[in-house]
């Protein structure tokens, strides 16, 4: 079934998968390992948001444009980016899954109309009333999209290489790091909600493991799918990259914008770590192997039979 996928991509995905599963399982246990205060959580979120923002703008969107073999590549890429942003926005609206601050001193961030409510137990009471299964479902869909983003990035990085060198093995590294740093926060959300609902430790571990393997499995399926449908038709891969850029933009801004409007504390710290995240994204792009950055220069498979 996976004979069309480059062995290098499968090898790197295996490495990424092991690291991702370990990080997500660890993320579910964060409260027992470290006290995740509101400030610490917000600093982590700001850094990860900056990284995701940078990866979307510096990596995913440009590569989408370079990949699409069409004179209207820019227009196509921007439309798919908007589609990805709106799709993730609607998912957030339906499932309300993207809240990571479960610390005891956290401000109420679920509803902006209650943003200034200083009841110490507001978040604890709120999370108890939220169905962890609904949150988990929303995060699972989000994680499946992340898997597609990782697969598309790895495939595009390999296809756009101008030559092979030691850095070739780092295909998809930027997207992988963004997912790696973000997934433990998602795992923390699910684990905290399950704990508040009275779920047993065994049940939490099983759910965490199931959640952890979703992204690798989605990436594996997407790699095969891209290799299968993209022979001679780079539009699919470019659309996947652009869509992923929109998703990353939506996720990063959904974390950043509430802080701009409702948190006056630690502004300098959060601004600095945000800029560090963007800087890391730019650094990752600068150390990438040389790419062929011209429209229509991509070959998705070495055994491609030619023709668009």
Q: Confirm whether 240 is domain-assigned.
A: yes
pLDDT of residue 125: 42
Q: Confirm whether 231 is domain-assigned.
A: yes
pLDDT of residue 290: 60
Q: Confirm whether 306 is domain-assigned.
A: no
Contacts 24+ apart (CB under 8 A), 209-214: 209/21, 209/25, 211/24, 211/136, 211/139, 211/140, 211/143, 211/186, 211/187, 212/20, 212/21, 212/24, 212/25, 212/183, 212/187, 213/17, 213/21, 214/140, 214/143, 214/144, 214/147
Q: Confirm whether 191 is domain-assigned.
A: yes
pLDDT of residue 305: 40
Are the C-beta atoms of residues 100 and 188 closer than 8 Å to each other? yes
Q: Confirm whether 79 is domain-assigned.
A: yes
Angle at 178 between CA 45 and CA 216, to 5 degrees: 125
In DSSP notation, 53-117 reads HHHIIIIIHHHHHHH--STTHHHHHHHHHHHHHHHHHHHHHHH--------TT----S-GGGTT-
The contacts of residue 204 (CB under 8 Å, 6+ apart) are 28, 191, 194, 195
Structure-derived torsion over alpha carbons of residues 270, 272, 277, 280, reported in degrees to the nearest 10: -170
Q: Confirm whether 126 is domain-assigned.
A: yes
The CA-atom distances, in angstroms, between 13 and each of 56, 93, 148 are: 20, 31, 12
Q: Provide the domain limits for residue 157.
A: 7-286
Which residue positions in the chain have pLDDT lower than 50? 1-2, 104-129, 295-308
Q: Confirm whether 297 is domain-assigned.
A: no
Q: Confirm whether 275 is domain-assigned.
A: yes
Q: In the numeric block, which tokens belong to residue 2?
A: 């996976």
pLDDT of residue 189: 85
pLDDT of residue 306: 42
pLDDT of residue 181: 92
Q: Which of 18, 2, 22 is nearest to 10 (CA)?
A: 2
Q: At 304, which helix (H) or strand (E)?
A: none
The model's pTM: 0.80
Residue 159: phi, psi to the nearest 5?
Answer: -70, -30
Are the C-beta atoms of residues 292 and 298 closer than 8 Å to each other? yes
Angle at 120 between CA 119 and CA 125, to 5 degrees: 85
Number of domains in the chain: 1
């Amino acid at each position: 079934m996976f004979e069309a996928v480059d062995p290098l991509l499968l090898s790197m995905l295996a490495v990424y998968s092991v690291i991702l599963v370990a990080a997500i399982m660890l993320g579910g246990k964060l409260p027992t390992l470290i006290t995740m205060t509101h400030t610490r959580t917000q600093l982590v979120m700001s850094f990860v948001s900056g990284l995701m923002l940078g990866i979307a703008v510096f990596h995913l969107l440009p590569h989408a444009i370079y990949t699409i073999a069409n004179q209207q590549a820019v227009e196509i890429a921007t439309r798919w980016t908007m589609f990805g942003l709106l799709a993730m926005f609607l998912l957030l609206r339906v499932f309300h899954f993207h809240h990571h601050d479960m610390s005891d001193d956290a401000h109420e961030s679920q509803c902006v109309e209650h943003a200034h409510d200083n009841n110490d137990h507001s978040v604890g009471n709120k999370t108890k009333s939220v169905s962890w299964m609904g949150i988990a479902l929303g995060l699972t869909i989000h994680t499946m999209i992340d898997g597609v983003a990782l697969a598309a990035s790895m495939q595009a990085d390999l296809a756009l290489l101008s030559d092979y060198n030691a850095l070739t093995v780092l295909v998809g590294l930027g997207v992988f790091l963004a997912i790696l740093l973000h997934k433990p926060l998602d795992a923390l959300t699910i684990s905290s909600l399950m704990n508040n609902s009275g779920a047993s430790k065994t049940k939490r571990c099983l759910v965490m493991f199931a959640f952890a393997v979703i992204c690798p499995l989605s990436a594996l399926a997407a790699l095969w799918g891209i290799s299968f449908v993209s022979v001679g038709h780079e539009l699919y891969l470019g659309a996947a990259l652009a869509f992923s850029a929109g998703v990353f933009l939506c996720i990063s801004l959904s974390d950043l914008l509430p802080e701009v409007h409702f948190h006056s504390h630690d502004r300098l710290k959060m601004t600095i770590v945000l800029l560090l995240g963007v800087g890391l994204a730019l650094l990752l792009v600068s150390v990438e192997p040389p790419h062929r950055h011209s429209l229509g220069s991509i070959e998705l498979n070495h055994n491609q039979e030619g023709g668009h």
